[in-house]
């Protein structure tokens, strides 16, 4: 993303403070599933209830998340983000109060659903903003490379946040109290999601879109097979995140150190973030559809090592190999999402992809937690393998749908 005489760099277009604000603003999104699970289990003493509350968060995101993206495309990101920032902070506080009260479990589940329904979709909306800046301000010849680099950065940021988020939940819950992650998350939401909403880039996109006057693609364009297969692939990635972190927590709990699960999880996250950034330097001859197959295959190979993992060193080796695959796969999926976005539906598509991750994470955490409690860690460790297989199968289907012969039709 170097500057040329023909067009400004993306950093100059957006401004360096934008990237700082957008990074911190997505932290609460990464903290909420694990934060809800941690608080519910700690205060109510039920892993099953904790799993249900996590699933309720994912259900809320699945039902409402894409609608928030559609609203952002229709009314602009700024008003939508300001409203949901306040609503999400209120939902986080309400859930915390409900957990510590004598309220029935149903109230907790409703509050958890509200947390997911009002989750600020900062990451997908940031991608939407940046892609819009690129397409409106850079020559067409530069756009593919800059968009690829941007997706690499954004995915690396997501990887870092999705690793650091659970780790931060564990630190805050241990040092302060189980309620601390959600209360601090509510404060971060108001401050940084609010700042993200008020950043000039939000107003720029809304104004540019209105001034452009281009017709918005009909809703049916969102259900094209080439886009839906990316949604399924992203769901598989989210499922992998949820199953792997929960199974890893159970693995470390068996060894008497459950608090170290986040640190061990970081072995995968660091490598994943580095490799995600490295995607920007891959040669164009290594096509996107081939990248999905290759890197998801590496992810799947890493999960197969879970069949023989019996100690921390071998688990670290498996996580390191998974990290090589997961980051580049995520970058590639977002690139496909950007490429297949219908006109005027950028925020909607990016929110669909972001929601797919959180739905998969919530479902994976809930099912894996229940399985680990009832059957044991060894069985729970099979679930990340299944999740990785979903990512690979989606990659195969995507490879067929995006073959040169089909695209030429």
Written as one string, the DSSP assignment of 67-93 is HHHHHHHHH-HHHHHHHHHHHHHHHHH
Mapped onto helix, strand or coil, the DSSP state of residue 45 is coil
Give pLDDT tens digits for 1-50. 444 445 677 777 778 889 999 999 988 887 887 788 778 877 887 766 77
Is residue 6 domain-resident?
A: no
Averaged pLDDT of the chain: 83
In this structure, of 59-68, 100-109, 193-202, 292-301, the range with the lowest mean pLDDT score is 59-68
Exposure b/e, 27-63, CB count within 10 A at least 16 = b: bbbbbbbbbbbbbbbebbeebebbbbbbbbbbbbbbe
Angle at 124 between CA 123 and CA 130, to 5 degrees: 90
pLDDT in the model for residue 208: 44
Chain segment 76-111, per-residue pLDDT in tens = 888 999 999 999 999 999 999 999 998 898 999 999
Residue 70 clears pLDDT 50, i.e. is over it: yes
Contacts of residue 114, defined as CB under 8 A and 6 or more positions apart, other chains included, come to 60, 87, 91, 94, 95
Q: Which residue bears the tokens 């809930």?
A: 366
Q: What is the pTM of this model?
A: 0.75
Confidence of residue 407 (pLDDT cuts 50, 70, 90): low
Instruction: Confirm whether 173 is domain-assigned.
Output: yes
Indicate the pLDDT class of residue 123, thresholds 50, 70 and 90.
confident
pLDDT on residue 268: 82
Write phi, then psi, for 7 (nearest 5 degrees): -160, 155
Number of domains in the chain: 1
The answer to whether residue 161 is domain-embedded is yes
pLDDT tens profile 330-367: 888 888 887 887 877 776 787 788 778 878 887 888 88
- Map tokens 């401050």 to a residue: 191
In this prediction, residue 161 carries a pLDDT of: 79
Residue 7 lies in a domain: no
pLDDT of residue 203: 66
pLDDT tens across 308-336, in order? Answer: 998 889 999 999 999 899 888 988 888 88
Domain annotation covers residue 71: yes
Residue 319: give the domain boundaries.
Answer: 12-407
| Other C-beta atoms lying within 10 Å of the C-beta of residue 212 | 11
Task: Look at residue 211 in the predicted model and tell me its pLDDT.
Answer: 43
Query: For residue 367, what is the enclosing H or E element?
Result: helix 346-374
1: in domain: no
pLDDT > 70? residue 259: no
3 falls within a domain? no
CA 295 to chain centre: 18
Cβ contact 162:75 at 8 Å:
no
Which CATH number does the domain housing residue 47 bear? 1.20.1250.20
**Could you give the angle at the alpha carbon of 151 between the alpha carbons of 355 and 398, nearest 5°?**
70
pLDDT greater than 70 at residue 303: yes
Residue 209 has pLDDT above 70, yes or no: no
Q: Determine, yes or no, domain membership for 5.
A: no
| Percent of residues in the chain assigned helix, strand, coil, to nearest 5 | 85, 0, 15
Share above pLDDT 70 across residues of the chain, in percent, rounded to a whole number: 90
For residues 156 and 251, is the Cβ–Cβ distance under 8 A? no
- The answer for residues whose C-beta is within 8 angstroms of residue 210's C-beta and 6 or more apart is none
């Amino acid at each position: 993303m170097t500057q040329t005489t023909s067009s400004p760099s993306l950093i100059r277009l957006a401004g360096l403070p934008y990237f700082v604000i957008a990074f911190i603003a997505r932290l609460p999104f990464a903290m909420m599933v694990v934060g809800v699970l941690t608080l519910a289990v700690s205060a109510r003493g039920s892993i099953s209830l904790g799993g249900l509350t996590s699933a309720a968060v994912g259900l809320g995101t699945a039902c409402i998340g894409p609608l928030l993206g559609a609203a952002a495309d229709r009314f602009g990101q700024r008003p939508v983000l300001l409203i949901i920032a306040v609503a999400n902070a209120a939902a986080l506080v309400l859930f915390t109060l409900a957990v510590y009260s004598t309220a029935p479990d149903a109230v907790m589940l409703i509050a958890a659903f509200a947390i997911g329904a009002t989750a600020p979709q900062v990451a997908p909306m940031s991608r939407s903003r940046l892609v819009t800046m690129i397409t409106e301000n850079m020559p067409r010849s530069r756009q593919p490379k800059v968009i690829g680099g941007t997706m690499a950065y954004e995915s690396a940021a997501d990887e870092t946040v999705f690793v650091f988020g659970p780790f931060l939940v564990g630190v805050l819950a241990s040092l302060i109290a189980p309620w601390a992650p959600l209360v601090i998350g509510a404060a971060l939401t108001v401050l940084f999601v609010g700042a993200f909403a008020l950043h000039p880039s939000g107003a720029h996109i809304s104004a540019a879109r209105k001034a452009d006057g281009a017709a918005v693609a009909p809703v049916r364009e969102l259900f094209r097979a080439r886009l839906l297969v990316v949604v399924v692939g992203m769901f598989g990635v989210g499922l992998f995140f949820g199953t792997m972190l929960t199974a890893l927590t159970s693995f470390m709990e068996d060894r008497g150190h459950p608090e170290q699960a986040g640190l061990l999880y970081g072995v995968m996250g660091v490598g994943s973030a580095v490799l995600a950034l490295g995607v920007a330097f891959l040669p164009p001859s290594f096509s996107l559809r081939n990248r999905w197959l290759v890197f998801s295959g590496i992810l799947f190979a890493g999960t197969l090592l879970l069949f023989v993992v019996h100690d921390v060193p071998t688990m670290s080796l498996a996580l390191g190999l998974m990290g090589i695959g997961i980051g580049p796969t995520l970058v590639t999926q977002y690139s496909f999402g950007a490429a297949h976005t219908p006109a005027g539906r950028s925020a909607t598509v990016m929110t669909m992809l972001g929601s797919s991750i959180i739905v998969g994470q919530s479902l994976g955490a809930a099912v894996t937690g229940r399985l680990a409690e009832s059957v044991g860690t060894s069985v729970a460790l099979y679930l990340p393998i299944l999740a990785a297989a979903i990512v690979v199968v989606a990659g195969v289907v995507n490879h067929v749908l995006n073959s040169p012969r089909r695209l030429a039709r």
